[in-house]
Amino acid sequence: MLDPKNIPYAKNEKLAPVAHPYTGDLGKAIDELNDRYSFVMMSGKHKVFDHQEKIFCELESVKIFQNQQILHNNKIVNPSTMWINDRELRRNFDKVVFRPYPTNDKFVDNHFNTWHGWAVEAVEQSDQRQFKIHVEPWLNHIHDVFCSGDTEQSKYFIQWIAHLFQKPEKKPGVAIVIQSGQGFGKGLLVTLLEKMIGHSYTARITDSHQVAGGFSGHMKDTILVNFDEATWGGDKKANGRLKAIITENHLTVEEKHKNAEKIEHFARFLITTNNKYSVPVEADDRRFFVPDVTNKKPSDTDFQPIIDINDNDEAIQHIFSYFMSLDISGFNITRFPDSCARQKLKAESVNHGDVYKAFILACYHEEELALNLIQPSINATELFKSFTDWKNSNTFRAVPVSMSSFGIELKAAGFAKKTIKGKVAYSITRHEVETYLKSINII
């Protein structure tokens, strides 16, 4: 476990003192300015960072001390004017970065780091009673509700959260997708994480177009981004953006009235939704862990222990310390367990992507439709007509197709072609369809 005293806590942020030649009242006034403010160069302009309020502000914020007058060497001087005009008296940074180091011994060469630490302070260790009251209810909820009692899934889920806190500077490249109706605790989990991470370093996004239209400024300097009911399934542009922000370490951020800039990006992504086609999970995809949420809706009594934790600052400290102390030395975050929910998303992705594969998959699952494909001998023209009739009655209506492309797909699937009385026909068994779909990781 990381030493609790060396885990960055925003309220305990320490600033290096600034050496200057002044003593007495003037020296004290300059020290007070340095205890609160730093000079930062942003987009070619000087800004002041207020360490007390944790915000960037204009020079006028310092100039509120303009009325402060101090006698120094028989002259009346103004400390804030001296501090603004003389860079030797203040802390100066030539660039702004966001690098969430896991310990207090951070160092960024002459760059101002907007990471100030977690929103809660770690405690030494929870005793058995504290663990049972403050930690166990949330672990049980993750196991029983979000993962339907599946130990492998809940272990990954919990270690994914621990990785967020222990290694915030290492982007995992895996997002968690929680699919359920209302009343399963998705929002409560996001609130818990926000309270531990800090609202400044989290973002909630409800519209996928906020990302599809450009990497927006609200994802800058974040450790956790929650996409809440933001639908990605059928939007190819949005899908491409989503995949990029989950895996890439550098992203282009666009903010209003500012030039686009490329930044380091450390965010994890938690997608909460009740949409059955929430994200595109392709056959070889390794970006989305989708636990099997229980079908049994928790009662108000089931929810009360985790609600109590979320409303209790001491409890949040204990669960934060649990995640900080959990042993994840052998944890490989890119290797997550498969699930029924993830397999369903794979099938939905086919149904919204490749029209030919979608038809074969539909024939496998739908008995009536299977009669159009799975036969010992079926004329190629009749088979293509069945395919186009199915296509035109589904979401692929506007997708252009051709008989030659259809034939190429059937050949790639390994379905036998033969000639009967000068006409092309196919002989296809259910076993061959199943073997093909398994080979492309759809079932």
CB count in 10 Å sphere of residue 393: 9
The residues facing 77 across adjacent strands are 70
| The CATH number fitting domain 354-439, selected from 1.10.10, 2.30.30, 1.20.1420, 1.10.357 | 1.10.10
Distance between CA atoms of 185 and 141, rounded to whole angstroms?
A: 8
Distance between CA atoms of 86 and 27, rounded to whole angstroms?
A: 14
- The domain made up of 128-344 has a fold known as Rossmann fold (3.40.50)
Distance between CA atoms of 78 and 235, rounded to whole angstroms?
A: 59
Distance between CA atoms of 65 and 67, rounded to whole angstroms?
A: 5
Express each pLDDT in 58-88 by its tens digit: 887 777 667 788 999 889 999 988 998 999 9
CB count in 10 Å sphere of residue 204: 17
Express each pLDDT in 226-277 by its tens digit: 998 766 555 666 777 888 889 999 887 776 666 777 888 999 999 998 887 7
Q: Which residue has the tokens 């028989």?
A: 74
Pairing state between β 95-97 and 111-113:
parallel
Q: Which of 368, 327, 369, 348 is nearest to 443 (CA)?
A: 348
Would you tell me the crossing angle of helices 186-197 and 300-310 to the nearest 10 degrees?
10
Backbone angles phi, psi at 176, to 5 degrees: -100, 135
The residues facing 427 across adjacent strands are 416
The string of DSSP codes covering 271-328 is EEE--SS-S---TT--SEE-----SSPPPHHHHHHHHHHHT-HHHHHHHHHHHHHS--
Tell me the CA distances in angstroms from 25 to 30, 31, 283, 442, one per residue in order.
9, 10, 69, 74
Yes or no: say if 262 and 255 are a contact pair by the CB < 8 Å rule.
Answer: no
Pairing state between β 378-379 and 423-427:
antiparallel
pLDDT at 213: 56
What pTM did the predictor assign?
0.80
Task: State which amino acid sits at residue 290.
Answer: V
pLDDT at 269: 95
Distance between CA atoms of 164 and 161, rounded to whole angstroms?
A: 5
| Domain residue limits, the chain | 4-113, 128-344, 354-439
Q: Which of 102, 144, 85, 131 is nearest to 9 (CA)?
A: 102
CB count in 10 Å sphere of residue 149: 11
3-state secondary structure of 178: strand
pLDDT at 230: 66
pLDDT at 235: 61
Pairing state between β 261-264 and 111-113:
unpaired
Distance between CA atoms of 214 and 240, rounded to whole angstroms?
A: 11
Q: Which residue has the tokens 């009669």?
A: 371
Would you tell me the crossing angle of helices 380-392 and 403-412 to the nearest 10 degrees?
100
Yes or no: say if 142 and 157 are a contact pair by the CB < 8 Å rule.
Answer: yes
Residues of the chain where predicted confidence (pLDDT) is lower than 70: 1-5, 64-65, 104-109, 208-217, 230-237, 255-258, 351-353
pLDDT at 13: 75
